[in-house]
Chains A and B, each alone.
Chain A
Amino acid sequence: MARIIGGVTTSHVPAIGAALDNGKSGEPYWKKVFDGYEFSKRWIRKAKPDVILLVYNDHASAFSLDIIPTFALGCAAEFPIADEGWGPRPVPKVVGHPELAAHIAQSVILDEFDLTVVNKMDVDHGLTVPLSLMYGQPQEWPCRVIPLPVNVVVYPPPTAHRCYQFGKALGKAIRAYPEDLRVVVFGTGGMSHQLQGPRAGLINSAYDRKFLDLMTKNPRKLASVTHLELVRETGSEGIELVMWLIMRGALDEKVREVHRFYHVPASNTAVGHLILENLK
């Protein structure tokens, strides 16, 4: 049977990808960010996931204002890298796992989470930056990736509670898959950041640190956080944190925190990163 080994949360700031792609990762400003992922690179090489279920948000790359799915699942065999305006990032194409994805879609829809099945989709920095942070710059990504984009662009995104419950349905679906696959779930975005308007640059480290604590110890409490609180306390784009709850829901109630990294700033953003392992 498929098994969820653990979960990873990480910010997905596009400038992190640009720093890596342009050979600037050794510069002092960026080294402070990449150093926080040294442990993580070793961890994931050892964990050897066959599949990553990667929860992220599309940044107006695959989805325009024509169609805005709240939860979508990439069921294709491959996902090309999006051109976000400066040409596609020079990273390997993303290879999916259509069989597991189809199984997940069936399972969660029958569990009343009516996600949108997507069979053609470009993936943007929201998905590729977390892979770069965890794997560096390989010729090919070492595992399959199932993209799970969540709408956080057009307000309102799904609630934190809905995300947490959805994560539980995803976990149940993965654990019921008959093949012996090692699965890691990523919840990306956050932490505090605001990219627009005169309040841009907002950072709330105290809130972020409490959020990190609760992710490990008391995710139920986080599931009751409102959108209004997230926008007020962590910035208009800090609302991406709801996506972390999807990952957390897919894990067991009790988890082991094996790594934590928190750093300000990466461009406009507070970088928050956790690795959580299921106990059994």
Chain B
Amino acid sequence: MKSLRKPAYDDIPGTTVFDAQRARQGYHLNMFCMSLMKAENREAFKANERAYLDRWPMSEPQKQAVLARDWNRMIALGGNIYFLAKLFFTDQKSFQYVAAVMTGSTQEEYAQMMLNGGRPVKGNRYRREWRRKRGKAHG
């Protein structure tokens, strides 16, 4: 059977496209996040995060990523940003806060980058452009 993997969008740097396969991988992680739309579930989660997570048949690495609030790791393990939003809203954090964390910038740096017009598209379209940049940085 011909695989649907290796799609063209995988050559876009720093980007995870949430396709059906990733939706399968992250099903329980994302459904856990969605459960936080109920105030009583938010309370239960905040009272004992580990115990609440153990109610969900998530993988141990997924649970560890949640406990560490490692957003890029959650994305890599099948998390989707709109589901993860329920988790960072529960933490009283914003999309901009999480975006800054995921890009490895401070809040101030990231907010300033946005005020300056955002991350330019030039040099950020293809993975090879990032590899070249990294090569230069290390060379």
Chain A residues in the interface with B (C-beta under 8 A) = 14-15, 18, 59-61, 64-65, 82-87, 153-156, 192, 194-205, 207, 227-228, 231-233, 235-237, 264-265, 267-268, 270
Cβ A202 vs Cβ B95 within 8 A: no
Q: Which of A194, A199, A267 gathers the greatest number of chain B CB atoms within 10 Å?
A: A199
Cβ B37 vs Cβ A199 within 8 A: no
Please tell me if B77 contacts chain A, counting CB pairs below 8 Å: no
Closest Cβ–Cβ distance, residue A53 to chain B (whole Å):
23
Chain B residue numbers with a CB within 8 Å of A194 are 15, 119
Cβ A204 vs Cβ B99 within 8 A: no
| Pick from A14, A235, A268: contact of B114, CB under 8 Å | A268
Cβ A83 vs Cβ B119 within 8 A: no
Determine the main DSSP class of A at the interface with B: loop
A24 CA to B58 CA in the complex, in Å? 39
Please tell me if B56 contacts chain A, counting CB pairs below 8 Å: no
Cβ A85 vs Cβ B89 within 8 A: yes
| Pick from B9, B18, B90, B92: contact of A228, CB under 8 Å | B9
Beta-carbon nearest neighbor of B33 in chain A: A60
Please tell me if B139 contacts chain A, counting CB pairs below 8 Å: no
Closest Cβ–Cβ distance, residue B35 to chain A (whole Å):
10
Cβ B118 vs Cβ A202 within 8 A: yes
| Pick from B85, B98, B110, B121: contact of A85, CB under 8 Å | B85
| Pick from A18, A82, A198, A204: contact of B104, CB under 8 Å | A198
Cβ A60 vs Cβ B118 within 8 A: no
Cβ B8 vs Cβ A154 within 8 A: no
Chain B residue numbers with a CB within 8 Å of A264 are 114, 117-118
| Pick from B31, B37, B121: contact of A65, CB under 8 Å | B31
Cβ A198 vs Cβ B14 within 8 A: yes
Chain A residue numbers with a CB within 8 Å of B95 are 14-15, 195, 267-268
Determine the main DSSP class of B at the interface with A: helix
A227 CA to B87 CA in the complex, in Å? 28
Beta-carbon nearest neighbor of A125 in chain B: B85
- Contacts across chains A and B counted by CB atoms under 8 Å: 157
Beta-carbon nearest neighbor of A59 in chain B: B82
Beta-carbon nearest neighbor of B8 in chain A: A228
Cβ B37 vs Cβ A83 within 8 A: yes
| Pick from A60, A82, A232, A265: contact of B12, CB under 8 Å | A232
Looking at B19-27, B47-55, B61-69, the stretch in contact with chain A turns out to be B19-27
Chain A residue numbers with a CB within 8 Å of B44 are none
Mask: chain B, 107-126; 1 = CB below 8 Å from A; 0 = not: 00010011101111100110
Chain A residue numbers with a CB within 8 Å of B104 are 198
Beta-carbon nearest neighbor of A58 in chain B: B82
8 Å CB contacts to A: which residues of B66-115?
Answer: 71-72, 75, 80-83, 85-90, 92, 94-96, 98-100, 102-104, 110, 113-115
Please tell me if B6 contacts chain A, counting CB pairs below 8 Å: no
| Pick from A198, A207, A267: contact of B103, CB under 8 Å | A198
Please tell me if B38 contacts chain A, counting CB pairs below 8 Å: yes
Chain A residue numbers with a CB within 8 Å of B89 are 84-86
| Pick from A18, A155, A231, A270: contact of B118, CB under 8 Å | A270
Closest Cβ–Cβ distance, residue A81 to chain B (whole Å):
12
Cβ B92 vs Cβ A86 within 8 A: yes
| Pick from B20, B72, B81, B117: contact of A198, CB under 8 Å | B72
Once A196-B75, A232-B12 are accepted as A-B contacts, the answer to whether A265 and B118 lie under 8 Å apart by CB is: yes
| Pick from B9, B114, B119: contact of A231, CB under 8 Å | B9
Cβ A199 vs Cβ B15 within 8 A: yes
Chain A residue numbers with a CB within 8 Å of B30 are 60, 64-65
Chain A residue numbers with a CB within 8 Å of B103 are 197-201
Closest Cβ–Cβ distance, residue B38 to chain A (whole Å):
7
Closest Cβ–Cβ distance, residue A110 to chain B (whole Å):
29
Cβ B23 vs Cβ A65 within 8 A: yes
Beta-carbon nearest neighbor of A57 in chain B: B82
